[in-house]
Amino acid sequence: MASKRSLATKLGVVAGFENPRLALEQYPTPPELAAHVVHLADLHGDVDGRTVLDLGTGTGMLALAAALRGPARVFGVELDRDALSTATANQRRVAASAPVHWVQADATRLPLHVPDPVTVVMNPPFGAQDGNRNADRGFLSTASRVATVSYSVHNAGSREFVEAFAADNGGEVTHAFAADFEIDAQFDHHEDASRDIDAEVYRIEWA
Ligand SMILES: C[S@@+](CC[C@H](N)C(=O)[O-])C[C@H]1O[C@@H](n2cnc3c(N)ncnc32)[C@H](O)[C@@H]1O
């Protein structure tokens, strides 16, 4: 298995959102964090030969990280058509060999059947924007329905919510770790060139 660092380096060519939409919380997952999540999933045997489903794929960062390992196939689901154009261009840049399918759809009402076994990787909207509260709940709900295991990035302080949600939906948090999430300024209200967000990553096994 290649190293986490080499995966992050390969993901360095992934371009960000061309016209990021604040209402959809279009922040790209940093390549180091995507590499960390997918490398961990690979070490757990959650990538090889499986379907990997990236919910809210945006630029395709997590989907393409998985595609650079040995999944049977990858699906990237995203509401925004422009983001999917970026993801498609990023797929050409990354040149991963696994088949990747980009699907324009609401990840909280998944309209497709994906072949088992399924691993979900996702960095859902944190629900920080007005009218978008609990956005990550709908994403976790989809993971609970379709996946045997999921890896999800949430904002700091989500542990109680994620553990309770998993327990109520036949899941169990098996791993949790804190992660730095650096985002470059991309919206008008961003005053600094970049800022760090405290994030948390959860691995959940679903019954
Ligand atoms: C925090 S961003 C993560 C993006 C991605 N991991 C990346 O690195 O580019 C959340 C993404 O979820 C998408 N999104 C928000 N609500 C969605 C929904 N209901 N269904 C599908 N995608 C959604 C946004 O457009 C955005 O691309």
Phi and psi torsions of 20, nearest 5°? -60, 135
Percent of the chain with pLDDT over 70: 93
Domain total in the chain? 1
State both tokens at 170: 């036949």
Distance from residue 72's CA to the centre of ligand 1 (Å):
23
Percent of the chain with pLDDT over 90: 83
Closest residue to atom 16 of ligand 1, CA basis: 24
Residues 75/112, Cβ–Cβ less than 8 Å: yes
The yes-or-no verdict on residue 128 having pLDDT over 70 is no
Distance from residue 21's CA to the centre of ligand 1 (Å):
10
Question: What pLDDT score was predicted for residue 141?
Answer: 97
The yes-or-no verdict on residue 196 having pLDDT over 90 is no
Question: What pLDDT score was predicted for residue 181?
Answer: 82
> Which range of residues forms the domain containing residue 107?
4-11+33-206
Closest residue to atom 12 of ligand 1, CA basis: 56
| In a domain? residue 131 | yes
| In a domain? residue 28 | no
Question: What pLDDT score was predicted for residue 16?
Answer: 96
Distance from residue 23's CA to the centre of ligand 1 (Å):
10
Tokens 């990236």 identify what position? 54
Could you give the CA distance from residue 162 to residue 159 in angstroms, rounded to a whole number? Answer: 5
Question: What pLDDT score was predicted for residue 124?
Answer: 97
Sheet with strand 171-184: strands edge to edge: 100-104, 73-78, 51-55, 118-122, 149-155, 194-206, 171-184
With a CB cutoff of 8 Å and minimum separation 6, the contacts of 13 are 90, 93, 94
- pLDDT mean over 4-30: 95
Q: Assess whether the C-beta atom of 173 lies below 6 angstroms from ligand 1.
A: no
Contacts by residues 5-13 (CB-CB < 8 Å, ≥ 24 positions apart): 5/35, 7/35, 7/38, 7/39, 7/65, 7/68, 7/69, 8/32, 8/34, 8/35, 8/36, 10/68, 10/94, 11/35, 11/61, 11/64, 11/65, 11/68, 11/94, 13/90, 13/93, 13/94
Distance from residue 189's CA to the centre of ligand 1 (Å):
20
| In a domain? residue 51 | yes
| In a domain? residue 135 | yes
Could you give the CA distance from residue 52 to residue 73 in angstroms, rounded to a whole number? Answer: 6
Q: Assess whether the C-beta atom of 106 lies below 6 angstroms from ligand 1.
A: yes
Question: What pLDDT score was predicted for residue 187?
Answer: 64
User: Tens digits of per-residue pLDDT, 49-71?
Assistant: 999 999 999 999 999 999 999 99
| In a domain? residue 23 | no
Query: Which numbered atom of ligand 1 lies nearest the CA of 122?
Result: 6
Q: How confident is the model at residue 143 (pLDDT cuts 50, 70, 90)?
A: very high
Tokens 């983001």 identify what position? 83
User: Tens digits of per-residue pLDDT, 76-108?
Assistant: 999 999 999 999 999 999 999 999 999 999 999
Question: What pLDDT score was predicted for residue 132?
Answer: 67
Closest residue to atom 13 of ligand 1, CA basis: 56
Phi and psi torsions of 62, nearest 5°? -70, -40
Q: Assess whether the C-beta atom of 79 lies below 6 angstroms from ligand 1.
A: yes
Distance from residue 115's CA to the centre of ligand 1 (Å):
22
| In a domain? residue 20 | no
CATH assignment of the domain containing 156: 3.40.50.150
What does the mean pLDDT of the chain come to? 93
Query: Which numbered atom of ligand 1 lies nearest the CA of 124?
Result: 10
Q: Across the strands, what pairs with 90?
A: none
| In a domain? residue 27 | no
| In a domain? residue 96 | yes
Question: What pLDDT score was predicted for residue 135?
Answer: 80
Closest residue to atom 11 of ligand 1, CA basis: 56
β-strands 100-104, 73-78 pairing = parallel
Residue 144: closest CA among 110, 93, 178, 112: 110
